[in-house]
Structure 1
């Protein structure tokens, strides 16, 4: 097979929301070149699979307490940590490109095999398991996820160079995931921990990157060509990234698709965002988020589903919620003020 030229983007640090916006912009593009991106999240953040139920997987109170956000991706899988010490990659290519097998299983094996070979080159006993997980001596060090949309294959994944496993465990829902959380120490590892075991020095993102680059070039039989983003591509990436910054997408992608109410209210430093879907003057879905007591507003949202969209029905529910939680006000915002904001939002139906 003839060697193909693929585009290579070395982005280094990037906001996860912007990275996903760029992936979508490239995948939707008609003027497209197969692209591999090396990147790392600019700050600690959680990445969630498309079908993940936030409230079941995460300890939302801890996430908000630590100021760690979560971003939903368009690919499947569960939840995982990302930060500047975790090597990450994205691959976007046409579904019909001869380099990537048509079979999902075979495509995972080829692409994730590049990570396996890179780890072997630095002296670690890596192997592929469960379709897309890379293991070192039976412990997970890398995971990947894939989606086939807009005629393209999007695959992205990570390799833990270092990992703050204790913090990650604290961000998970212990009540529902206790056994899985307690077993993470036995199931997960990271590159520099394993290198230390065999007497080798730790590797940085920049030091590990060439090993992965060489593995991609060799295993996929391609050449990389450095080619910066065009002004148009940056513009489209910014446009598509907006979704990944939105609370309704990250909490409930189904609500994001159907919402006919989106409203923001700011008073002083207090910000309240409301997304909802109204049908026949009834609240079918609603999400209330805020930059103060976010867990309380999220809980309140759950109590307002399938309630008539009128003040007579909504006010008693809000009042009862405040009473049951021993609250008179939230950050100097009274019950009456919150009811008014909710009604103003619902009356703004698109």
Structure 2
């Protein structure tokens, strides 16, 4: 089987790598994905965007990429779209118009429950099968035959969960994976470690970053121990300070207490607040609200990301309560999704 794949985000490729373990050897991947999985059309680093302004600058390139996908689809049996709805939804439309009978599978659905609810109708119109990783998002879809809750992929990818609260003397720091996130948070993290003495400060850096890029973007990291294994570092740490994103859910599931902090470009943050009507930005907190429970962790955004706020949260968080709630979260999300999605693709 020739499978056309569009996985443009780093997180999508983590899920894709796990999914590939359950695909038959005769399934060949074409399209855009991590080069470790085959021969993609483009290096993922050339596709990375940060915010609305950056997206506008690359608009012409993405139109060209869409047309390349449509052309390539002619020789592929099925299509797998992962996350990145800004690109993948228009691509799904073009594919459906060009190939009315082509099977299009969407895995990691756009967060229509957060904003742009109109995407639900488009997904149902353009896609053949919808693989949901959020327990409650199925409530928004009318065509129940297309949508399947497959479980959350992190429950596949996390191989070890904390069995008890740990006091390891290690604190993890995750300033994100995008340049702006890193440059905004690292100065605060450097100042923060001076307020929490006699600890080992573990800086978790994406494995794809080489030494030259790290030196250029992160600044002085001489006080940190470097780790490129997120799950291992979180297991070993008694606490973490994390930029918003998938990493917050990883820490919540593993059972490592943490503080979420995020500083966006002012324009992007303004646009986000305008359209996204949620009480929280952390996925674990969103899930807990749906479960009728209080927030699992604190969230500090924009000007509220200060050394004092982060330090106070570290000192005052009820770590025992956090740990017990992390086990409830695992039960809520049920099983992992990779094997279920593989069956859907190969059916």
Settle same-fold status: TM greater than 0.5. Answer: no
Which has the higher Rg, Structure 1 or Structure 2?
A: 1
Task: Name the TM-score, length of structure 1 as normaliser.
Answer: 0.29
Task: Name the TM-score, length of structure 2 as normaliser.
Answer: 0.29
Give the structure with the higher percent strand.
Answer: 1
Give the structure with the higher percent helix.
Answer: 2
